[in-house]
Structure 1
């Protein structure tokens, strides 16, 4: 790995293809024999710092249509947290099911799980049948892994029965010095970004793009009022940018004055600080408070001049879902991609059916949607929301911070890259967008 890293740092990318593939590499992983270590503890008390390990692992065999990538940087997503605390289920069940699919898939069913669903880096080797990518290419990766042997996936690859999230439902993820991906996960690295900045948007930007912009999601149009929960967070920060970029009107819900300032700096004008306004959507564990839904709806109309949201960008889940269904306009759309506060949602169905609202489920993105989302990053129309970067040895702390919501935007992790600030190829474009690129830094 040292030879490969040195060649990348020396900009000698043509030499990468002539270097031997390392027999092993350092990786962030969870262990199968520890998957019950948090049993009986409340979710909040489960500590990723105890379950995430950095260890040397063997380099997997390279198969047809695949690529090995030297990973310069990665990032922490909420699925990193889920994996680390073994919720809602241990990911080793995913790996076992994948391993039963075919002979090559058996590589993934191991007593350890190398995690991570983002990367930026350089292609080291490609398998047979790969034509678009070659050793030395600077890339980022999206996290959709598909087999595409079933016709169901050929209109929208997210509908492939064998659709998986790389680094969560597969092994050999991006929180490592090396990663194994399918070649159709690769996209060009934006040349004006550092390694850690380029690694930050992949999962969340693509997810927000499909959820909000794509016809497979909410199909947002100009002028739509979009309620964005957690508007300064990993998903919400991209949803806010996509709404503003697409001529929509975001109503940004945040949880502190500092977060309110961040979304205002992105250009959002309508902001609700839910902590300052004291919203409590649940009276207790079993009972929601419709009066609080009504109070939120009134506040939204106050900000918008009397309009309800055309689209509610949902991802907190249980805590907010009842309110989301209530506040959406008649004929509006609640589009959901996650449940970070709980998977069992409750809402008053009268407000859904009698007002002809729709709930749309959205999960990550297909290759075309991910490519389009990455293109917006490359053109400087959407920017990374990286707030802080950790060394790989400190990834447990990084995941803990995301688990406890102690972060803003996205949290990055350096893997092969020895320092922040490396990997920029287009300095002129970077200078043009530097303020926006650094907006979340160290907030």
Structure 2
């Protein structure tokens, strides 16, 4: 118990440090990714597809900003000018722009930035409350460990610092998991559909809905929302979704050349060109994820989301702050460590997977962001997922861990009273 309290205090201090640094970074560079997304959304609202615009003005953005390239269908809006960024980067699927409208609707970029940050903070609070509730029924020494283990992750403050979509997406995914546990598949489908605002984070979670027959209504709801957002983009811009997607794909290599992990290995070892390396790794990852989720389809939402989170993290291009996808696996390993009886396993052995997982998520990004470290991280995550699945196999539902903890506590209370 003393060790768990020590971990809790250390992780809370770590979280405070990361949050303080992130708030300072955000103050120095307000807007960040959210400002670029705001620019994209407001170009769409003005009838111009950012993907085709990006393609049209590539390498000539200065001329475009001065109005020298303005022709029919290609127009620069002075009201959407951002400092040092006169034109919008277009690399998202067309439906993502439709889904992003609620996140960036204010017409003023400063107001929109604060609105997006408020939504991100609300999503982070939801994730932290969920994590705290997971271990609240455990022994006294570990009741705050669920909260602390997530609060100490570097990826949440790092994502907030650059105003990326990750925290908002995680909030939507956690909400969908809670709703699935309560058998409210349709509303859960809306949450996952909205999380597709960044499909490289959320796409594998659609497979969770697909592989559970009782949740097909959620899958249908999510797909309807995504298709509706794509139709909204089409209606506003007049550009067919497949044309816009071709435009987005043409810019893919300019981002994924910085990718590490499996994508970089496929390019280096197999000499696959872009975009085939990225699309090939994604296709293989999604197929394997679908098979794995189908195999464990009767398991709890937490275990299924842990699988989807690992698949999402290793199968797509990501930056280090996207490690927040591994929150589900981290919490699953924590529950399993708490619920494992020391008589059947040494204390160090039952806690080691959670500690190993945490090290990859709690250490500063500069330590774990190198090419070799990123590939090593992938191997560690896959190994720890295998350990988690092996431990969960005889239980079928990881909620039984918490149930067993409550029974033990009740038995201990009864024997103490006697």
So what's the TM-score if we normalise by structure 2? Answer: 0.24
Query: By percentage of residues, which structure has more strand?
Result: 1
Higher Cα radius of gyration: 2
So what's the TM-score if we normalise by structure 1? Answer: 0.23
